[in-house]
Chain A
Amino acid sequence: MECAGGGGRMKLHTEMRVNRITDEVWEIPISEKSGMLVPARIYATPTILQSMDAGVFEQVTNVACLPGIRRYALCMPDGHWGYGFPIGGVAAFDVRTGIISPGGVGYDVNCGMRLMRTNLTQQDVQPLLERLMTELFRRVPAGVGASGAVRLDHSSFEDVMVRGARWCIENGYGWPQDLEAIEERGCIAGADPSKVSDQAVSRGINQLGTLGSGNHYLEVQVVASDRVFDQKIASAWGITGHDQIVVMVHCGSRGFGHQVASDYLKVFEKAMRRYGISVNDQQLACAPFTSVEGQDYFSAMNCAANTAFANRQVINHQIREAFAAVFGRSAEELGMELVYDVAHNIAKVERYPEGDLVVHRKGSTRALGPGSPDLSPRYRTTGQPVICGGSMETGSYLLAGTQAAMSDTFASTMHGSGRTMSRAQAKKTIRGEQVQKQMKQRGILVKAVSMSGLAEEAGFAYKDISEVVETVDRAGITKKVAELRPIGNIKG
C-alpha cells in the first residue's frame, strides 16, 4: 500500500497503515490487526522500509498479539521474514503474565558474533595471507557434518552446557580475561542439562569448535584509520586503525541449539491448548514463562546459549593457535585480545522500568549503554560493543550501545545486513567458483567447504549494510565506531 504519514508517499509490501514517528522509526497501530496488544515499531529509513518483505509487517504484528507483551513489538532495519518472529525482531514480555517462545529466539540459539583484535597490520599479514587462511581452514572445521577437535564425554558436555565459556578457560581454551569481554561473561545462570533431550546431546557433543555453514563464517578483516568513526571508544577497545588486523567469527550452538528449539516447539504446540493460548502462526508456539514448559525451555535454551559461547571460545583458541603458528609469535605477543562476544538469538530476563521482562532478541543484538551495571568495568564508560556482520563482500561494523537503546528498544539494535535474495535465486545467478574468483580480484581470499554454499552468500544477495548501520546510528540506538573490511573469509 501507499504509506502516508510524512516524508512523501511510499510503496510498502503491506496493506497495513504505517505511521511515521521519525525518519528512522515507523509504527503500525493496534487497529491494524485484530488481537494486537501493543503497536509494532520498525526501525528503517524510507528506502529500507520500502524494501522490507511482506513477512516483516505480518510477523511483527503477530508478535504484537502475544500475551504479556510490553510497549512495542520491534523490528530492526536488517529485518526480514523469519520463523514466527521476523529476523531483526525484539519483544519483551512480563515475567509474570507473559510468554516465552522458541520462535522469538530462533533455531540457532545464541547465534552470535565475536571480534578479536591483533597488533598486526595488513602489511604484516598480506604476504602470509594464503598460508594463514589455509591454517585457519585446517584448524576450524566448517561445513556439513564437521566435528570439532574437542572430544567430550557426556558428563563433560553437561559441564559445557552449564559453564559455557568458563569451561573453556578452565580447560585451556582461552585466557581468563576473555570472560570479561563476553556477554554474561560467557556463562548464563539457570542452565539445566536435565531439560535437554538425548537427541540434542547426540547432535551437539561432537560439534564444539565448529563453524557450521549457511551464513556462518570466520573472517580476517582490516580497520583503516579513515574508517574509525569514534577514536576514543575504538581506542578503549584496542582498535587502533592504521590497517590493523582483526578477526570476526559468526556462528552459534549448531545442531544442539536447533534440536532444543525443535523439541520445545513440539512441547509448546500441545501446551498452548492447555493454557488457552492461540497464535497467528504455528511457529509462534509459546508457553507462559512461569509454566513448567516455559521454565523447562528457558533452562534448555540457556544450555544451548552456554554451548554457543563455548563453541566460539574454542574457535577463538584455534584462531590464536593458527596465528601463532603462521607468525612465529605467541598469541599474547600478537595482542590477540577479545574485543567482545555478543549473542543475537536469545531470550533473557532483564530489568526495565516496567519490571522484570523476558526480552526476546532474534537477529537482534543487546546494546547496553554507558553506565550499565550489567557491563564489565572496561565497557562502563563506552557502552557495550555491538558487532554487526555484513555480507562477505561488503564488510562489517563495530558499534557501541547507547542510553537511547536502553530507553527505546529494550537495549537492542541490529545484527547484520539481512538478505534480500533467496539462496536458490543466488545460486541461479552465480556459481561459487565465480564468487571466489571475483573476490580474489578484489583482494579477499575465500576458503569454502561448499561452492554452492559460497554462491548463496554472494554480496548481492544482501542489503547494503552501510544503510542499515546509518539507520541505527541516526536513530541513536547504537553509535558507529569502526568499519571492518574483509581480506580473508572461511565459509562452511
Chain B
Amino acid sequence: MSHSFRFLDDIATADLAFDASGDSLQELFHGATCAVIDAMADPSTVGSTWRKSVERTEEDPAELLFDWLSDLVYWKDADGVVFSTFTLTITCGDDGSWHLKGELCGESVNGLVQVLRNDVKGITKHLYHVRQEGMGWNARVVVDV
C-alpha cells in the first residue's frame, strides 16, 4: 500500500496546488491529508496532545475528500491547532456510499517549537478532481492560503 503527494509549481499562482495519489482510495486520502498537514506546519515538529475523531459519509468520493480536508482547516482555526499524525479508514457501504472514519492528532499552535508554514484558509474546487485511473486513484487540489 502506498501514497504520495507533490506540490505543483505552475498552478495556482497565488495559492498552493498539489497532486496526490494512492493505490487505493484510502491511500489517496492518506496522500492528500499529508499534503494539507504539511502545508500548514512541519508535522515532525508538532506534538500529539490534541485529538479529534471525525466521521463522514458521502455518495461521491470527491465530495468525501473535499469535506475531510475542509475538516482539517476548520479544526485548525476552531481549536487553534496544527497536526502531526492521523489515522483514517474508508469503507464502501452496501448502498454504494463511502464512509470515512478518522482521527486527527496535533497540538496547539506554538511558533516557538513548531515550524509553521501557511495559514490555509480553505480547500477550493478550482481544478479539483478525484479520479480512479488504472490500478490507482489520484486527485488534484488547490488550497487557498
Contact = CB atoms under 8 A, between A and B. Distances in A.
Contacts of A80: 13-14
Interface in B109-127: 109, 111, 115-126
Given A144-B109, A206-B80, A262 B122 contact: yes
B80 A424 contact: no
B116 A83 contact: no
Given A143-B116, A144-B82, A424 B122 contact: no
Contact of B125 (A206, A213, A282): A282
Interface stretch (B71-79, B84-92, B97-105, B132-140): B71-79
B145 A423 contact: yes
B141 interface: no
Specify the main secondary structure of chain B where it touches its partner. mixed
Contacts of A215: 14
Contact of A144 (B7, B116, B142): B116
A258 B121 contact: yes
Interface residues of A, number: 46
Contact of A428 (B9, B82, B145): B9
Contacts, number: 124
A121 to B, nearest CB: 33
Contact of B13 (A53, A254, A255): A53
Interface stretch (A65-73, A160-168, A310-318, A449-457): A449-457
A108 B121 contact: yes
Contact of B118 (A144, A146, A199): A144
A147 B74 CA distance: 14
A282 B118 CA distance: 25
A212 B119 contact: yes
Contacts of B109: 143-146
Given A283-B125, A422-B9, A428-B9, A145 B74 contact: no
Nearest to B119: A213
A265 B126 CA distance: 12
Contact of B40 (A83, A144, A206, A207): A144
B144 interface: yes
Contact of B41 (A84, A144, A282): A144
Contact of B80 (A145, A282, A419, A453): A145
Interface string B9-44: 111111111000000000000000000000011000
Nearest to B40: A144
B70 interface: yes
A450 B117 contact: yes
Contacts of A31: none
A214 B118 contact: yes
B69 to A, nearest CB: 11
Nearest to B109: A145
Most buried by B among A87, A144, A203, A283: A144
Given A107-B124, A283-B126, A144 B13 contact: no
B81 interface: yes
B8 interface: yes
B8 A424 contact: yes
A214 B14 CA distance: 9
A254 B78 CA distance: 12
Contacts of B122: 107, 258-259, 261-262
A296 to B, nearest CB: 19
Contacts of B13: 53, 80-81, 419-423
B118 to A, nearest CB: 6
Nearest to B78: A202
B116 A202 contact: no
Contacts of A420: 13
Interface in A70-90: 80-84, 87
Contacts of B76: 144-145
A104 interface: no
A87 to B, nearest CB: 7
Interface of B: 7-17, 40-41, 70, 73-74, 76-78, 80-82, 108-109, 111, 115-126, 128, 142, 144-145
16 contacts: A53-B13, A80-B14, A84-B126, A107-B121, A143-B111, A144-B82, A145-B109, A146-B109, A146-B119, A199-B78, A206-B80, A214-B15, A254-B121, A262-B123, A422-B10, A423-B145
Given A145-B76, A145-B109, A424-B7, 14 more contacts: A199-B78, A213-B118, A214-B121, A215-B14, A254-B121, A255-B121, A262-B123, A420-B13, A422-B10, A422-B12, A422-B17, A424-B8, A424-B9, A450-B118
Counting from the closest, the 6 A-B pairs by CB-CB distance are: A145-B109, A213-B119, A255-B77, A203-B77, A202-B78, A258-B121
